[in-house]
Amino acid sequence: MTFSLVGEVVNLVIWVLSTIGLPGLLALMVLESFGIPPVPSEVILPFSGFLIVDGQFPLAWTIVVAIVGGLIGSYAGYAVGRWGRHRITGIGLGALRIETDHLERMDRWFTRHGEATVGFARLVPVVRSYISYPAGTARMEPIRFGVYTTLGATPFTLALLYAGMQLGSHWSTVSSYFTDFDYVAAALVAAGVVYLILLVGGWITPGWPPRWASRRTQGTPSTVPRPPPP
C-alpha cells in the first residue's frame, strides 16, 4: 500500500468543496494565499469550475468568493511579514545575518517596484502564495498591496475557473499541465534564495546581472605603512 501526499491533498480539497460548498472554497483560498500549509490553487479553482458547470456553484459568487478568499490570505501573510520585521533582525549566522540595512534595501526595492513585483508574482504558481511576506516586511503601503494583489490574482483565478468549466469532469487535466510550471517556479524561488544569500553575505553586488564583489586586500606591502627612518 502506497501513500501519496499530493493525492491526499487533492482528495481533501475535493471533499471540502463538495461537502462545505462556497464557505469551503473561501477557507481553501485563504490557506492557498497564506501559503502555509501549501494548498494548490491548480486543484481548488479547476474543480470549482467543474462544480459551476455541474450546477452546484453559482458562477458570480464563486468568482467573488475565490478572489476575496485569496485577498484575505494575502493580507494575513502581509501582516505576518510586517509584524515580524523587527523580530527577524539579527537572525542568521556570520555574514548571512539579517541586518537593518538589508531591510532598508528591501524597503527601497518595494518603494520603487512593489506594484509590479506583487502584481506579477500573483500570476506565478508557488511564488504567488509567498510574495505577501516580503511585501509586509518591506512595509509596502497596505492599500496599494491589496489593489495590485487583486489585479494580479484576478486573471489567474478566472483562467483556472474557466479551464475547469471547459474541461468539466476532466478538470484534473489542468493540474497536470501546471506541474512543469510549478517546477520552474520552484527553481526560480531557489535561485532567488541563493541570490539573496550571496547578496547578504557580500559576495555579490546588488543589481543585474550579478557581479562578484571585490574584496579589499589588507596587509599587502603597498598598503602597509612603512616605519619612519631612524
- Model pLDDT, residue 9: 77
Percent of the chain with pLDDT over 90: 34
Q: Are 224 and 230 in contact (CB under 8 A)?
A: no
Closest to 68 in 3D by CA, of 156, 153, 164, 155: 153
Contact (Cβ atoms closer than 8 angstroms) between residue 67 and residue 45: no
Q: What share of the chain is helix, strand, coil (3-state, %, to 5)?
A: 70, 0, 30
Domain boundaries, the chain: 5-205
Element (DSSP H or E) covering residue 177: helix 172-200
Contact 127, 185 (CB under 8 A): yes
Count Cα atoms within 13 angstroms, Cβ side, for 54: 18
Give the per-residue pLDDT at 181: 55
Q: pLDDT tens digits, residue range 82-117?
A: 888 776 655 554 555 566 766 777 788 888 888 998
Q: What is the pTM of this model?
A: 0.71
- Bond preceding residue 209 cis, omega within 30 of 0: yes
CA dist 156 and 100 (Å) reads: 35
* pLDDT for the residue numbered 154: 96
For residue 99, the model assigns a pLDDT of: 62
Burial track 178-216 (b if 16+ CB lie within 10 A, e otherwise)? beeeeeebeeeeeeeeeeeebbbeeebeeeeeeeeeeee
Query: By three-state DSSP, how is residue 61 classified?
Result: helix
User: Average pLDDT over the chain, rounded to whole?
Assistant: 78
- Going by C-alpha positions, the residue among 27, 45, 22 that lies closest to residue 37 is 27
Q: Which is more confidently placed, 191 or 127? A: 127
